[in-house]
Each structure stands twice: as C-alpha cells, then as structure tokens.
C-alpha cells in the first residue's frame, strides 16, 4: 500500500507540479474528515505521516475513565482496563493515545475522505497554475490552438498545463488559426476563479511585438538597445522607435539583423505584418521626421506644450506621409504622442500666403519649438484639402 502511495505521489509531483507536502496534507485532512464522520468528532484526532515512507497512523487522544460503565463517549474516553493495554501504568484522568484503524471507517466515511483528497488536490493544482502564470503576465508564451470556444467568442490555447482564452477582440482578422497550430501570444491577465485560473491572451497588443524583439534581438535583451516607443495596428503595421546605449551599435541595424533575418523572423510570426524600425530622438521634431518614414520631410514645427506638430512634405510625398487610409500618419502620432498635421509644400504656401522659405529666413530653425503662422486645414479651400492630420489616439 505504501509503495503504491509513494508511486502516486511521484506521478502527481512530476505531472501536476503539486508538492509532496501538499499531497500529504490533503491525505491528513481526509483522514481527519473520515474520523469526524465515523465518530462525530475529530477534535482529539491527529494524523502522523512519514514523508519518506508514506506510512501513516491515525492517533486518538482519550481520557482514562476508571470503570467501563462510566465511559459516556468512546470517541474521547476509554476505560482503565482498556487503557492499560497500551499504557500499563495508566490511571484515571490520564490521556492515552490510541491508534485508530482506518480500515474500520466504513464505505461512506472512506468516500468522503476520497472526496476531500480530490478537492484539496484540485485546489492545489489551481494554485500551482496561478502561481506559475501570475508571474508571466505581460510576457510572451507559446501555445497550441485547441478549439473554437463559441460561448466565450474566442479560441482555446493550450499553454502546457492549462488552457488560455484568446478572445476574438484580441485576434487579428487576417489571421486564420487551425487546430494544432503553434502561436506566440501575449499574456494579458491571470485571474483566480472558483473554476480554476482564467488566463487571457492577445495577438493584437503592441507589447507582443516588443516582447518578440526582446526574444529575437540580443542587444535588446542585454540592454544595449532599448525600445523607447511602439505603435501598432495589429495584422497591418507596427512602428517602433529604438535607441542605442552604445555609440558603436546601430539600433536599427541590430533590430533588422543581417539580411533582415531578425526582423523577418518576427514578421513571419505575425503572419506578414509590416514593421517599421526608426531611430528614437529626444528632439520631437527629429522624432516626428523619423516616425513618418518612409516619407521625406521638408520641415517640422513642434509645440511640446500642446503636443501638436505641423509637418511640411514635398508635394509628391504627401500621400506617402499620410499613408493608406491615414495609417502612416496615425501610427506616427501614436509613436510620438503628438497630434500631427501634414501639409504639402503647395498647401502650406497657399495657407500662409507666402513661401515657407521666407518664414524660415525670419530666424526659425527646422524642428524648433516656435509659434508659426497657422496653416490649419479649415483655412484652405475644401477642394485643395487632403486628410493629413493625425492624433495620438488614432483619429485622422
């Protein structure tokens, strides 16, 4: 029996990560419960278990009563004659310890004990899973697509010892999953519930891309290169701004890798999502220039207090700067935290009534924080206007 118990403990430890002490504690609780069901009380019961051999003894402490006829409750009292069988020098009033034969508990008490063990092990397993994943919130884990979960409106993703929910709201519409597919997901939340640990994961969160770069790029992992900002529209495009803490290391080159091997690995994981990597700059004007790449910029006028910027681009670059349905400008706004108003050179000249160069010659530098003659969109004829304003919250 002890050998079988030890084997069962080894399996539970290995497969469920439940500690031996927790299992033995569950067994002890179950035996006390069985005693309570059998004797209507267990206040005088203790269970001794040898951790190494799994040998256990149920011990009842009973008060010695001189005459058998005076024993009112056999569960907590014992006659002097019976007490002397285990303690020859016992006298009335002594407390003697009697071993209880657990085989006499009966079917109902045994079943209740089994239920206690099962419940305790389930609770411990939930605790193990929660403790394991609670520390992995805001990190990336690898999972396997299990099945479609209709009621929860999402996908069940197996993470090894438990399943997580990938809600439809956290999936990219262009991604099509198949049962058994391996994917990397970002752990959004881990919550303990009565039914177990609820884990919610995401494929759209911007931090997913950041974590993938941390895994793929050694220089980011060791702190040589830092990701300063990230903006993402899941499944379509991401912009990240990076800076190097070592003047000899090119941050963009480190993230791209030789022949693009590093960034391509991340693009493949994201099913072809485009990724723009730009240099971070503490000067908002320069940062906005970088963020609007691949468009070429003529000038940036940034207001750090209002968090607004006006950008002038060559006429031929206006569509590129704004991007398809405004995406490039929108992501640049999210990346920099500035509301960006983009105008072509012609639009800017028409709006202010004189050449932009004349304005610059008055003493203002490119990217300088200065108030300039406004060239708001509403001042321009509607027919000449193109959608070129983007804000941090994504409006365009």
The answer to whether residues 331 and 288 belong to one domain is yes
Within this chain, do residues 223 and 266 fall inside the same structural domain, yes or no? yes
Higher pLDDT, 191 or 101: 191
Domain CATH number, residue 162: 2.40.50.140
Query: Do 66 and 26 fall into the same domain?
Result: yes
User: Could you tell me if 218 and 320 lie in one domain?
Assistant: no
Separation CA 331–CA 327 (nearest Å): 6
Given pLDDT bands bounded at 50, 70 and 90, which one contains residue 68?
confident
**pLDDT on residue 56:** 80
pTM of the model: 0.67
Q: Does residue 226 contact residue 220 with C-beta atoms inside 8 Å? A: yes
Inter-residue contact 197 to 126 (CB < 8 Å) = yes
On whether both 60 and 75 belong to a single domain, the answer is yes
| Average per-residue pLDDT for the chain | 82
Question: Would you say residue 368 has pLDDT above 50?
Answer: no
330: three-class secondary structure by DSSP? helix
Residue 292 makes CB contacts below 8 A (sequence gap 6+) with 311, 313, 321, 328, 329, 332, 340, 342
Query: At 389, is the pLDDT very low, low, confident or very high (cuts 50, 70, 90)?
Result: low
Spatial separation of the C-alpha atoms in residues 21 and 273, rounded to whole Å: 48
CATH of the domain at 374: 3.30.300.20
Q: Looking at the structure, do residues 8 and 116 belong to the same domain, yes or no?
A: yes
* CATH classification of the domain holding 19: 3.30.1480.10
How does DSSP assign 98-130, residue by residue? EEE-GGGS-HHHHHHHHHHHHHHHHHHHHHHHH
Q: Which residue has the higher pLDDT, 302 or 378?
A: 302
Which residues does residue 127 pair with via DSSP β-bridges, in sequence order?
none
Q: Which residues on neighbouring strands pair with residue 46, listed in sequence order?
A: 59
Same domain, 189 and 238: no
Residue environment code for 280-303, b if the CB has 16+ CB neighbours within 10 A, otherwise e: bbeebbbbbbbbbbebebbbbbbb
Q: Are residues 30 and 122 in the same domain?
A: yes
The mean pLDDT of 317-335, rounded to a whole number, is 94
Do 276 and 292 fall within a single domain?
no
Mean pLDDT across 185-207? 92
User: Where among 188, 203, 218 does a domain terminate?
Assistant: 203
Least confident of 60-64, 81-85, 117-121, 135-139: 117-121
Please check whether residues 211 and 332 belong to one and the same domain. Answer: no
Domain termination site, one of 254, 280, 306: 280
Beta bridge partners of 154: 149, 167
The confidence score (pLDDT) of residue 87 equals 87
Domain holding 375, by residue range, is: 282-396
Residues 312, 287 within the same domain: yes
Q: End of a domain among 203, 226, 245?
A: 203
DSSP assignment of 358-373 equals HHHTTTPPTT------
Per residue in 9-67, pLDDT (tens digit) is 777 767 667 777 777 888 788 788 778 777 777 788 888 887 777 778 888 888 888 88
Cβ-contact 76, 96 below 8 angstroms: no
DSSP 71: -
Share of the chain above pLDDT 70, in %: 81
Give the relative orientation of helices 206-216 and 261-269 as an angle to the nearest 10 degrees: 140
DSSP string, 148-214: EETTTTEEEEE-SSSEEEEEGGGS-TT----TT-EEEEEEEEEEEETTEEEEEEESS-HHHHHHHHH
Q: How many domains does the chain have?
A: 4
198 with 211, same domain: the answer is no
């Amino acid at each position: 029996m002890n050998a079988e118990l030890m084997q069962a403990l080894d399996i539970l430890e290995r497969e469920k990560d439940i500690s031996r002490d927790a299992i033995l504690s569950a067994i002890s609780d179950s035996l006390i419960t069985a005693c309570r069901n059998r004797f209507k009380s267990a206040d005088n019961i203790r269970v001794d278990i040898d951790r190494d051999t799994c040998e256990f003894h149920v011990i009842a402490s009973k008060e010695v009563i001189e005459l058998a006829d005076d024993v009112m409750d056999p569960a907590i009292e014992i006659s002097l004659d019976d007490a002397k069988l285990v303690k020859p020098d016992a006298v009335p009033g002594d407390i003697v310890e009697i071993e209880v034969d657990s085989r006499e508990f009966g079917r109902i008490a045994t079943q209740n004990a089994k239920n206690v063990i099962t419940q305790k092990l389930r609770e411990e397993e939930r605790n193990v899973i929660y403790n394991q994943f609670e520390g992995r919130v805001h990190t990336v884990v690898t999972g396997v697509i299990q099945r479609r979960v209709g009621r929860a409106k999402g996908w069940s993703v197996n993470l090894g010892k438990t399943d997580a929910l990938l809600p439809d709201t956290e999936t990219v519409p262009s991604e099509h999953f198949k049962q058994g597919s391996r994917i990397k997901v970002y752990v959004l939340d881990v919550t303990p519930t009565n039914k177990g640990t609820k884990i919610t994961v995401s494929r759209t969160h911007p931090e997913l891309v950041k974590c993938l770069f941390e895994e793929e790029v050694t220089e980011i992992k060791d702190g040589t290169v830092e990701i300063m900002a990230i903006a993402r529209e899941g499944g379509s495009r991401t912009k990240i701004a990076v800076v190097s803490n070592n003047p000899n290391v090119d941050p963009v080159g480190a993230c791209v890798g030789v022949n693009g091997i590093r960034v391509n690995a991340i693009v493949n994981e994201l099913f072809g999502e485009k990724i723009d990597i730009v240099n971070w700059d503490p000067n908002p004007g320069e940062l906005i220039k970088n963020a609007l790449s691949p468009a070429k910029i003529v000038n940036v006028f940034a207001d750090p207090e209002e968090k607004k910027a006006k950008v002038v681009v060559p006429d031929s670059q206006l569509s590129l700067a704004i991007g398809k349905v405004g995406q490039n400008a929108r992501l640049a706004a999210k990346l920099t935290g500035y509301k960006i108003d983009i105008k072509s050179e012609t639009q800017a000249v028409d709006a202010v009534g004189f050449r932009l160069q004349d304005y610059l010659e008055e003493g203002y530098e490119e990217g300088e924080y200065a108030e300039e003659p406004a060239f708001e969109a509403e001042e321009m004829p509607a027919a000449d206007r193109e959608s070129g304003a983007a804000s941090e919250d994504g409006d365009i």
